[in-house]
Structure formats: C-alpha cells, structure tokens
Amino acid sequence: MKKILLLIYCFLAVYTADAQNYPYQSNVLWVTTPSNTNWLYKLKEEAKVTVSLYEYGVLQDNVEVSYSIGPELMPSEKTGTAMLKNGKAVISLGTMSKPGFKDCRLQVKLNGEEYRHHIKVGFEPEKLTPYTQFPGDFTSFWEKAKEEAANCPMEVTRVFVPAYSSDKVDCYLVKLQAFRKGNFVYGYLTVPKKKGKYPVVFAPPGAGIKSMNPLKDIFYAESGFIRFDMEIHGIRPDLDEATYKEISQAFGSGNNSYLVTGLESRDSYYMKKVYLACVRAIDYLTSLPEWDGKNVIAQGGSQGGALALVTAGLDSRVTACAANHPALSDMAGYKANRAGGYPHLFTRFDGMDTPEKLKTLEYYDVVNFAKLVKVPVFMTWGYNDDVCPPTTSYIVYNTLKSKKEALITPVNEHWISLTTRHQILDWIKENLL
C-alpha cells in the first residue's frame, strides 16, 4: 500500500510541477522557442522568441497575442501585440547591456478565457555578481554563535513510525533540542534496515509552515543513505493540514512571516536559530552509530537549498552539497535595480529597506556562506522561475570557488522533475569519500 501511495504522490508531483508551464487539462498549449537554443545571449545581442499557440492540440492562426517585456521581476519596458501568422509570431525581446535576464510575458483570450505564459532568456549571466556585501566580521560572528549554541545540550527523542517504514527502511520521528534549552526542531529520520555503516544526508525544508512526507525521498534510504528531513519551527511535522494552515496564518505570511521576524538585528533575526539548528542536525547525524564516519551531505531545494549551502559554509563536517534553486540569495539585489532573491523582501513586505535590516541581511545571505564553501557542490535551476529567480541562482553559483557542477533546465519554473531528483542522488554517490 505504501508503494502505491508513493507512486501516486510522484505521479501527482510531476503533473503539478509540469502544470506551472503547461497546465494539466488545459485547452491551450504555448510553445515558445528562443532564437538561441540554450536561451542565452551575449550582451547587446538581440534575442527573439518564436511563439506558437495550440487549442485542443490545433495550431492557432490569425490570433492576436499581447506581450510585455522587461528585466526579470522588474517593471516592463515594452508592451505590444503580435498576430499569429501561419501559426507563428516572432517577438523581439531586444537586448541587455548588463548581465541578467529578460522576461517576455504573454497573454491571449480565446473563447472568453484568458491564458498566460512567460519565457525568460539570459544575457551573459555567468558574469553576474552579488550586490550583497561580505561583512568584515562575518566569520567571527558565526563562529561565536556556533560556540554559544554548542553549549545547549543535545536532547533527542526518537519514535518509530510504522506508516513510513518498510522491509527496507526504518523511519523515526525525531525531536531535537537546538540553539537554546527548550528550543526544539523535528524531523523524519530514515535509515536502511540492513545492518551497516552509511553516509548521512541532511535535508532542510522548503519555505513555509507545512506538514512533511518522508516517502517522497524514501529512495535515499532504499539506496543506502541515512536521511534526515528536518523542519525548522519546532512544530510536529505530523499535524493535520488544517492545524498547519492556522499556524501558518499566524506567523507564516505577510509582515508576520518568520522570514522577516527580528530582521532589525543580526542577533534577533528568526533565521539565526534556524541556521544554528542546521549545525545541531549535523551533530546528531554524526553521532549515529550507523554513520560511516566520513560522508555528510547537505541537500535541499528552495529554502532547503539555501539552508544546505548555509550548512556547508558553516560546518566543516559537510563533505558535499546539492542545492536546487536556492532561496535567501542576494536578497538585497533589488537595490541594484534587478531581481533579488526569495522572499523578495522589497516587493512583498513593508518597511524592509532600512540600513539596519540591510545590514542584518548580509549575515544571513546565501552568497556570503557560498564564499566559505570548500566542498563539491551540485546546483540545478530553471530560467522561468519567479520564486527563486535564475539571476540569484547564477550569482550563488558564480560565487562558489569549490568544485562545482550545474544542471541548467531553462523551461523549469519553481520545480525539478523526479528524474532530476534521482540525478542529484547519482551525483552524491559519485562524490562520496
């Protein structure tokens, strides 16, 4: 039964992911083809996109498409319309004189219904650099914070979870004290049932306050890895959806969001305890008798990708890191008149643009932790992502000085495929000590 549920979950996950570009059960399919097949251009080179539109699988002709074009996540610079002739229209996106991405947003009305699509192309993004500065006392600040957090006793409660266990894997719900006494985080620990010594994978969560399902990554434990999927708020991950929704409404959205709580000071910012809890998770994983004594991998996506990179920068025990479209990256990038990283503090929240908050961000931005990473890193991201824009993923990747590898998936929005998730595991296997 568990395997059937997992197959259904993966099936729905793939369709939900694909839906961000080509809506499942939609009457309309957009096909947008850049003039350069890799979606990349030189500075001052003109970019063009050929647009085709299908309704019920039938190529549309003599249909007017509206478009707006501008830098990624910034106000549009050009608007217009294009008529599909012989099923196609070519739209010029113009060019850019500085590295970055341009976004072409499309809209059409068919039979009274509006349909939208967009496509981004890049202009020498390998030359993008952070706006965020590296504080002179960045390293000493975090070393002191780690020393103080290490004084907190590592109290652990571990309960076997039959629903997520199988003949190959044992699953446990773990409660772990971190940062300060009385401050806890939870997580699901999945361990191969067969006796042996195994690499450990630390997997922090994506953004939000929500339930967790370790089955989606159970293939790690089935492949011979100990995996810890951690939540960061001290909330049991097995609560029902209605309860999580209530909690999220209380401190998970708008100016009540945990992502802006305490941002006035580097010492009071909410994410301080989160970053230090990640180090405590490594303490726990490396204390397990089943650990192989060598390999510690940090892996995650979005906020989880950010926390994986942060942990790799903070903790020398991490031996490899895999991150897809990391959040919390060059968050102040909007000050440079271009896209900044999730959570988009300057466009989604009020009162963020102050000297105090900008200074705090410097101590929590992923680009500054990336400068400390010394282990192999795998990253993957898409160009059409508006949540964690490609501008900031490139900035993180460009900042890394360790051995690194990138899988670029231009069409992707804020998702990766099941195939890519397995490719990440393959990369991890190739980079074991």
Mean pLDDT of all residues in 383-394? 98
Domain covering 138-430, topology: Rossmann fold (3.40.50)
pLDDT band, very low/low/confident/very high, at 244 (cuts 50, 70, 90): confident
The answer to whether 371 touches 132, Cβ cutoff 8 Å, is no
68 is catalytic: no
Mean pLDDT of all residues in 26-35? 95
Of 11-20, 168-177, 219-228, 421-430, minimum mean pLDDT range:
11-20
Residues paired with 318 in a beta bridge: none
Task: Give me the DSSP letters along 214-261.
Answer: GGGGHHHHHTT-EEEEE-SSS--TTS-HHHHHHHHHHHSSGGG-TTTT
What is the CATH code for 26-125? 2.60.40.1930
* Radius of gyration, CA atoms only, the chain: 22
Whole-angstrom distance, CA of residue 124 vs CA of residue 96: 9
The catalytic residue among 233, 248, 385, 393 is 385
Token readout for 297 is 């991998």
pLDDT band, very low/low/confident/very high, at 22 (cuts 50, 70, 90): low
Token readout for 401 is 């000085």
Q: What is the pLDDT of residue 21?
A: 56
Answer yes or no: is pLDDT of 262 > 70: yes
The answer to whether 267 touches 261, Cβ cutoff 8 Å, is no
Task: Give me the DSSP letters along 52-85.
Answer: EEEETTEEP-S-EEEEEEEETTS--SEEEEEE-B
Residue of 69, 57, 135 lying closest to 371 (CA atoms):
135
- Label residue 263 left, alpha or beta by phi (over 0 means left) and psi (-120 to 50 means alpha): alpha
Residue 148 has a CB neighbour count (10 Å cut-off) of: 12
Answer yes or no: is pLDDT of 245 > 90: no
Whole-angstrom distance, CA of residue 25 vs CA of residue 410: 23
Q: What is the mean pLDDT of the chain?
A: 93
For 155-195, write each residue's pLDDT tens digit: 999 999 999 999 999 999 999 999 999 999 999 999 999 99
Q: What is the pLDDT of residue 16?
A: 38
**Residue ranges covered by each domain of the chain:** 26-125, 138-430
Residues paired with 28 in a beta bridge: 55
Task: Give me the DSSP letters along 114-137.
Answer: EEEEEEEEEESGGG---SS---TT
Q: What is the pLDDT of residue 402?
A: 98
The answer to whether 286 touches 263, Cβ cutoff 8 Å, is no
Residue of 132, 72, 68 lying closest to 96 (CA atoms):
72
238 is catalytic: no
The answer to whether 273 touches 244, Cβ cutoff 8 Å, is no
Rounding to the nearest 10 degrees, give the CA dihedral for residues 162, 166, 170, 176. Answer: -50
Answer yes or no: is pLDDT of 10 > 70: no
- Using a 10 angstrom Cβ sphere, with 0-12 exposed, 13-18 middle and 19 or more buried, the burial of residue 376 is buried
Token readout for 182 is 């009385």
CA 283 to chain CA mean position, Å: 24
Answer yes or no: is pLDDT of 9 > 50: no
Q: What is the pLDDT of residue 354?
A: 96
The catalytic residue among 302, 315, 344, 365 is 302
Residues 357-370 as b/e (b if ≥16 CB within 10 A, e otherwise) read bbbbbbbbbbbbbb
Whole-angstrom distance, CA of residue 116 vs CA of residue 107: 4
Of 4-8, 290-294, 374-378, minimum mean pLDDT range:
4-8
Token readout for 249 is 């409404």
